[in-house]
Amino acid sequence: MTLAGLLKEGRERLKAEGIAEWELDAWYLLEYAAGCTRSGYFMHPEQEVLPDREQVYRDLIAKRSSHIPLQHLTGSQEFMGLSFFVDENVLIPRQDTEILVEEALGVLAPGMRVLDLCTGSGCILLSLLRLCPGVSGTGTDLSEKALSTARRNAEHLGIAADFCQGDLFENISGTYDCIVSNPPYIASREVDALMEEVRDHEPRMALDGGVDGLSFYRRIAEACPDYLEPSGRIFLEIGYDQGKAVAELLRPAFEEIRIVQDLSGLDRVVCGVLRS
């Protein structure tokens, strides 16, 4: 079968199965399975695909049809221009989270220390360390399995970072210049209404933020002053409707509180400076 024939077959199957990004996903999987680039495809769409590659593509399309996320099939996701390994033990890095990284980059300087709570794949911490030479950092997660993926990412990217298992600050000592976190923030009863890819294939513990979705913010806001240097900064990713509530949680201990929007104009990050 030719590249063009195989792509057509993949697109049709994914569309028929109601996969939201059927067009893009059929492409990505073809590039992955047949080892071709998009420009290569357009130069030779009639190129024959080896039978074993053809089978790999069909298997991947079948898995994607059953709502397994694309990134679990290819094993990776780009974030801040870096490639991260992902698996079922970590949240797949989201483009929206790049806003948090960009905000934190604005204040980090060589010699500073950063703490990433609920590090998951390590995408936030490792991007900060790569883009801010001279900064050191620690990532924590409750899940030992998530931490092994984060460590694998650090090793693959050649970035030195400390990772530590624990419930938020449980095993953290000392102080940091900056705390960042994208904690679980979906209200428990809303998790079941998420799209199948997320609900059934991403770790529930990375999504579920308790009854009102705010339980991690409450715990972080209460404990973090003990782990910040004077005038230390905090950057928290939030859900689109949580800006006010999270800003209020930070208000007792923080000043210069700002809510930052993402590229769709939705509230996405709350940040503040520890009150002296």
CA distance 178 to 94: 21
Work out which of 183, 239, 243, 272 binds ligand GLN, going by CB under 6 A: 183
Integer angstrom CA distances of residue 15 from 21, 49, 113, 196: 8, 22, 47, 16
CA distance 54 to 238: 42
Work out which of 184, 239, 243, 272 binds ligand GLN, going by CB under 6 A: 184
Which residues fall within 8 angstroms of residue 39, CB to CB, at 6 or more apart? none
- Which phi and psi (to 5°) does residue 208 adopt? -80, 110
Q: With binding defined as CB under 6 A, does residue 33 bind ligand GLN? A: no
Please give the residues from 116 up to 135 whose contact with ligand GLN meets the rule CB under 6 A: 118-121, 123-124
Please give the residues from 186 up to 215 whose contact with ligand GLN meets the rule CB under 6 A: 206
Two structure tokens written together for 205: 């513990």
CA nearest to 98, candidates 275, 268, 272? 268
Nearest residue (CB) to ligand GLN, 36 versus 123 = 123
Least gap, CB of 85 to ligand GLN (angstroms) = 13
Q: With binding defined as CB under 6 A, does residue 137 bind ligand GLN? A: no
Rg of the chain's alpha carbons, rounded to an integer? 21
Q: What is the DSSP letter of 47?
A: P
Least gap, CB of 16 to ligand GLN (angstroms) = 31
Taking contact as CB under 6 A, which single stretch among the options 9-17, 53-61, 155-163, 177-185 is the one that binds ligand GLN?
Answer: 177-185
Q: With binding defined as CB under 6 A, does residue 93 bind ligand GLN? A: yes
Nearest residue (CB) to ligand GLN, 203 versus 225 = 203
Nearest residue (CB) to ligand GLN, 14 versus 100 = 100
Q: Is 108 exposed, middle or buried (0-12, 13-18, 19+ CB in 10 A)?
A: buried
Nearest residue (CB) to ligand GLN, 76 versus 182 = 182
Taking contact as CB under 6 A, which single stretch among the options 17-25, 105-113, 114-122, 189-197 is the one that binds ligand GLN?
Answer: 114-122
Work out which of 77, 149, 153, 182 binds ligand GLN, going by CB under 6 A: 182
Find the residue with minimal CB distance to ligand GLN.
120
CA distance 227 to 69: 36
Least gap, CB of 151 to ligand GLN (angstroms) = 14
- Which phi and psi (to 5°) does residue 101 adopt? -60, -45
CA nearest to 197, candidates 47, 79, 82, 94? 94
- Residues making contact with ligand GLN (CB under 6 A): 91, 93, 97, 118-121, 123-124, 182-184, 206
